[in-house]
Chains A and B, each alone.
Chain A
Amino acid sequence: ACLPCTPHPPAPSVVAPVSRRCRDIRSVDVAKLDPVPRSLYTRSNPRSKITRRARARSEKTSFSPTFAMDVLFAFTGDKFAVVVSDTIAVQQIIVQKDDMEKIMDLDSHKVLGLTGPKGDCVYFGEYVQANMKLYELRNGAPLSTRACAHFVRTSLADALRSGPYQVNVLLAGYDKESDEASLYFMDPYASMMKVNSGGHGYGGMFSLSLFDKHWVPDMSREAAAILVDKCIAEVKERLVTAPSKYHVKIVDKDGTHCEVYDCAAKAAVAAVAEHAAK
């Protein structure tokens, strides 16, 4: 047998409508009115729920992503795609590490390059990686590059109006069915475009005009290597704190390959060759 419940207070015979915003003046006891009506000072009262909620929302949605000093650019070639990023991790003026991976492997034939605040990049990148893996496990086959790109964009779009991921994305992948490599550009506002070439940040911007001049459809590997050299040289010349080490990731039918592009080493090699030629 259950314990006897305490009797509930009798329900009111008429349910008066209660508005959250403003009290219906007819339902308020005049004697208990506040000296200043609530609606007038809630915005400035930091303890008020309304102010807290409004401030939280404005802080979350009105972000202005600063241009990160990360270098990230990419372009497509003949059945392959190249994604280049720098490898430097900086906190204010300190270089924390110079071998950071900013281009993640999503699966055997897809890479995701991310720039922006490190926390968002790592979290969002791992989130996409995990979901790609989960999809492949559940359904026996990986997603196509296009579907993956749309998934990434949808994730960014869903978070946009509550807590956006402040990441700049370049997604490159090779699809066996179409025997083609494709590249997708996304910004922190969840816009997406399938592109032939693209770049994020200052470093990316410098390469854009080089792409305009030198990119052609179905580039060969050699031509792609020359274009990468040109872009990195431009970055080194024009960016005030240009990194000297880069990761060049290539996606093609054999998977993803990463090459470390060390400007200092290359310069040394070139100097030696020049000296030998003399």
Chain B
Amino acid sequence: MARRYDSHTTTFSPEGRLYQVEYAMEAISHAGAAVGVRTDHGVVLAAEKKILSKLLETGTSSEKMHKLDDHLGVAVAGINSDANILINSARLTAQRYLMTYQEPVPMEQLVQTLCDQKQGYTQYGGLRPFGVSFLFGGWDKNCGFQLYQSDPSGNYAGWMATAIGANATAAQAILKTEYKEGMTLLEAKQLATKVLKQTMDSTKLEAEKVEMSEVGWVNAETKENVEYRVLQTKELTALCDEANAEAEAKAAAGKK
């Protein structure tokens, strides 16, 4: 029955659903998970890498984390080639704003512009929607640190903590119980690592399988500049070991 209404992205079904958009979200649920946690001191984005190979050049390009501007980063879940188009467009928007107003683009405006673009593909043109969900983490002077999630339908929302990609619902459930107000950036990183570990398939978390980035103050005391930064392997390894140890301790305590 659905077959009749699912081939054209711009057609509603009799139940009022847009099947192509839903299928796009289904595609994302098979992609690597990404988790975002917002605190008053910064935003943490963590993601599971799906493409694992010793032959990959890790230094040059990142699979899941992308910088949109100095104060803005994004984590991707879904089809990477689709993501690249949108990321390029987001970067253009950010720089156009900077050129016109000589100020960094406020986060919500950028997210809105991108989502308007995504929505266009669900209403006209006859092209399929973008099979990507994003987690935007960044800062602006109006609202401080913010975390936004967007999906192929072009809807977006601001979150304190959220997850996209594989096992997103499970990750969200964990976040709901574990997230507390007033966390430090380190605690947020630990939380993100823990959530990733619990939603990934493997038992032990390794730094090679994880990518993490943060948007935080360059100098926590002076609070002058905000910077998007991808975490180095050393820091990642430390976090992963901590998460592994904690899980083992819990398992051991549970057995007793």
Contacts and interface: CB of A to CB of B under 8 A. Distances in A.
Interface of A: 138-141, 143-144, 146-148, 150-151, 154, 177
B162 to A, nearest CB: 22
Nearest to A147: B101
Given A141-B142, A177-B141, A146 B109 contact: no
B108 A154 contact: no
A124 B128 CA distance: 41
Given A150-B101, A151-B101, 12 more contacts: A138-B109, A139-B106, A139-B108, A140-B142, A141-B142, A144-B103, A146-B102, A146-B103, A147-B103, A150-B102, A154-B100, A177-B141
Contact of A154 (B99, B106, B109, B141): B99
Contacts of A140: 142
Secondary structure class of chain A's binding surface, majority of residues: helix
Interface residues of B, number: 10
A173 B108 CA distance: 25
23 contacts: A138-B109, A139-B106, A139-B108, A139-B109, A140-B142, A141-B142, A143-B101, A144-B103, A146-B102, A146-B103, A147-B101, A147-B102, A147-B103, A148-B101, A150-B100, A150-B101, A150-B102, A150-B103, A151-B100, A151-B101, A154-B99, A154-B100, A177-B141
A179 to B, nearest CB: 15
A138 B106 CA distance: 12
Contacts of A143: 101
A194 to B, nearest CB: 11
Nearest to B100: A154
Nearest to A143: B101
Nearest to B101: A147
Interface in B98-126: 99-103, 106, 108-109
Nearest to B108: A139
A148 B102 CA distance: 9
State the 4 A-B residue pairs at the shortest beta-carbon distance, nearest first.
Answer: A147-B101, A150-B102, A154-B100, A147-B103
A229 B106 CA distance: 42
B119 to A, nearest CB: 16
A149 to B, nearest CB: 8
